[in-house]
């Protein structure tokens, strides 16, 4: 008898989570039993495997609660309840519960003060659920060794300690043939494929572009901020306009649109402070695109960047971009102590003369 999978994924409707959900459903083996609990906002954007039963969950607290009850009824003792939304079930389940934890914000290492108050309150609630009901979890699945270490640290001395398995997967959005740097039709110097969540670090990236402009460098940059991030997009484009920066926002793109963007760019710049996976880093690598990214563990887990920087420093980002453009900035030329005294005395004499 085939094991039935109950995939529970409310609130998965944008970003990397949605891309990974599309990839999983596209690879589902034909004829295998599958029950889906999906966010109603993706109803027109997802291709459902043939024969799968679907329960659409509206984005409200009451609908989520009803979805929990329905998922509990659907998942029997021989089933796998696959919690793709990153949280354990609130209700006890007879099934084997596997949580796909890809949201670092559910862990204690991420500062919530960077988020707007409504988001902060929601994340505090979700963190509470994740911690209070983790005893229901049979196994956690993550996608990088760094994320595994963070989850194990978060679990601490929980008893029993569920296994945390590293199982990365991604669908290739290219045609399988990376475009060599010399063969690229370069329309933009840099692209940043990311939504506008605070840790993505867009403001500091634009500050780095402003610093480059002060030195007479104006590389082009494409952002992909969607409708949900229009306030941030307007803010960044206003800064760009004031300083004459070559920054463009193309909005949220389809997978085909992202692939086309990679094919026409010189490099991916990625200043995020932290990722559970860093999907664009893998996509860019598969597309043959060079990567300029934060010098952080999550980056080294999945790619080999050509340049790295401190994501907390706009100056560091700007310097990495300059290196990528083969235009490194000047460095300090130290004097000898004797030269220092000579200059100091000369400057004092000149000041006295005036």
In a domain, 154, yes or no: yes
* The predicted structure's pLDDT at residue 179: 59
Are both 207 and 309 inside the same structural domain?
A: yes
Residue 157 is predicted with a pLDDT of 81
Indicate if 92 and 162 belong to the same structural domain.
yes
Is the link from the previous residue into 102 a cis peptide, with omega within 30 of 0?
no
Paired strand residues for 190: 221, 267
How many other CB atoms are there within 10 angstroms of residue 309's CB atom? 24
Domain assignment present for 212: yes
Q: Distance between CA 203 and CA 235 in Å, rounded?
A: 9
Do 210 and 138 lie in a common domain? no
The mean pLDDT of 311-323, rounded to a whole number, is 97
The residue among 296, 292, 286, 303 whose CA lies nearest residue 326 is 292
Q: Indicate if 147 and 185 belong to the same structural domain.
A: no
For tokens 């979805």, what's the residue?
67
Please check the confidence at residue 2 and state whether its pLDDT lies above 70. Answer: no
DSSP state of 165: E
Distance of CA 48 to the CA centre of its chain: 25
Q: List, in sequence order, every residue forming a beta bridge with 308; answer none if it has no partner.
A: 293
Separation between Cα atoms, residue 103 and residue 107, nearest integer Å:
8
**DSSP secondary structure, 201-234, as one string:** -HHHHHHHHHHHHHTT----EEE---GGGHHHHH
Least-confidence region, from 37-41, 65-69, 91-95, 174-178: 174-178
Give, for 283, the enclosing helix (H) or strand (E).
helix 279-286
Residue 234 sits in a domain whose CATH number is 3.40.50.2000
Boundary-marking domain end, from 166, 190, 214:
166
246: pLDDT strictly greater than 90: yes
- Residue 312 corresponds to which tokens in the numbers above? 């907390």
Taking the whole predicted model, whether its pTM rises above 0.75 is answered as yes
Could you tell me if residue 339 is inside a domain?
A: no
Q: Is residue 307 scored above 60 in pLDDT?
A: yes
CATH number of the domain bearing residue 97: 3.40.50
Is residue 23 within 8 Å of residue 3, measured between CB atoms? Answer: no
Mean pLDDT of 91-117: 88
The answer to whether residue 190 is domain-embedded is yes
Q: Which of 166, 195, 212 finishes a domain? A: 166
158 shares a domain with 9: yes
Q: Does some domain include residue 41?
A: yes
Rounded CA separation 137/311 (Å) = 34
Give me the number of domains the chain comprises. 2
Residue 129 near residue 137 (C-beta atoms within 8 A): no
Which whole number is the average pLDDT over 229-257? Answer: 95
Structural domain including 202 reads 181-324
Both 159 and 188 in one domain: the answer is: no
End-to-end alpha-carbon separation of the chain, Å?
96
187 and 144 share a domain?
A: no
* 201-235 pLDDT per residue, tens: 999 999 999 999 999 999 999 999 999 999 999 99
Residue 144, domain member (yes or no): yes
C-alpha–C-alpha distance, residues 230 and 216, integer Å:
29
* Residues 159, 216 share a domain: no
- 264 phi, psi to nearest 5 deg: -115, 15
334 located within any domain: no
Structural contact between residues 28 and 49, judged by C-beta atoms closer than 8 angstroms:
yes
- Give the helix/strand (H/E) hosting 307: strand 307-309
Q: Are residues 16 and 162 in the same domain?
A: yes
State CA 19 to chain mean position distance.
12
- Specify whether 192 is located in the same domain as 268: yes
**How high is the mean pLDDT of the chain?**
91
Let me know whether 48 and 159 are in one domain: yes
173 located within any domain: no
Residue 169: the pLDDT is 87
Task: Verify that 267 and 146 share a domain, yes or no.
Answer: no
């Amino acid at each position: 008898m085939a094991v039935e999978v109950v995939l529970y994924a409310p609130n998965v409707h944008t970003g990397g989570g949605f891309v990974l959900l599309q990839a999983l459903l596209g690879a589902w083996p034909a004829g295998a039993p599958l029950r889906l609990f999906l966010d109603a906002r993706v109803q027109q954007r997802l291709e459902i495997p043939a024969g799968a039963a679907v329960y659409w969950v509206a984005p409200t607290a009451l609908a989520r609660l009803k979805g929990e009850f329905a998922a509990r009824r659907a998942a029997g003792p021989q089933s796998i309840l696959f919690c793709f939304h990153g949280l354990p079930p609130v209700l006890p389940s007879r099934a084997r519960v596997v949580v796909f934890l890809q949201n670092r914000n559910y862990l204690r290492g991420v500062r919530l003060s960077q988020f707007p108050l409504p988001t902060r309150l929601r994340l505090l609630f979700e963190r509470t659920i994740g911690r209070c009901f983790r005893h229901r979890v049979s196994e956690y699945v993550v996608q990088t060794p760094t994320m595994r270490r963070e989850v194990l640290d978060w679990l601490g001395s929980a008893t029993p300690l569920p296994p945390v398995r590293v199982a990365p997967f991604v669908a290739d959005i290219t045609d399988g043939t990376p475009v060599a740097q010399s063969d690229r039709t370069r329309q933009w110097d840099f692209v940043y494929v990311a939504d506008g969540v605070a840790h993505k670090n867009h403001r500091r990236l634009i500050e780095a572009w402003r610093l480059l402009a002060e030195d007479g460098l104006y590389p082009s940059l494409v952002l992909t901020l969607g409708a949900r991030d229009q306030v941030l997009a307007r803010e960044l484009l206003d800064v760009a306009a004031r300083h004459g920066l070559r920054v463009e926002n193309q909005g949220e793109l389809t997978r085909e649109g992202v692939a086309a963007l990679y094919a026409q760019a010189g490099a991916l710049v990625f200043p995020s402070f932290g990722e559970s996976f860093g999907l664009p880093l893998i996509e860019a690598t598969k597309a043959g695109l060079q990567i300029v990214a934060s010098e952080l563990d999550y980056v080294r887990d999945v790619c080999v960047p050509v340049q790295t920087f401190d994501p907390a420093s706009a100056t560091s980002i700007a310097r990495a971009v300059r290196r990528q453009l083969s235009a490194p900035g000047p460095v300090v030329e130290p004097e000898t102590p004797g030269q220092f005294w000579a200059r100091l005395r000369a400057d004092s004499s000149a000041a006295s003369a005036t």
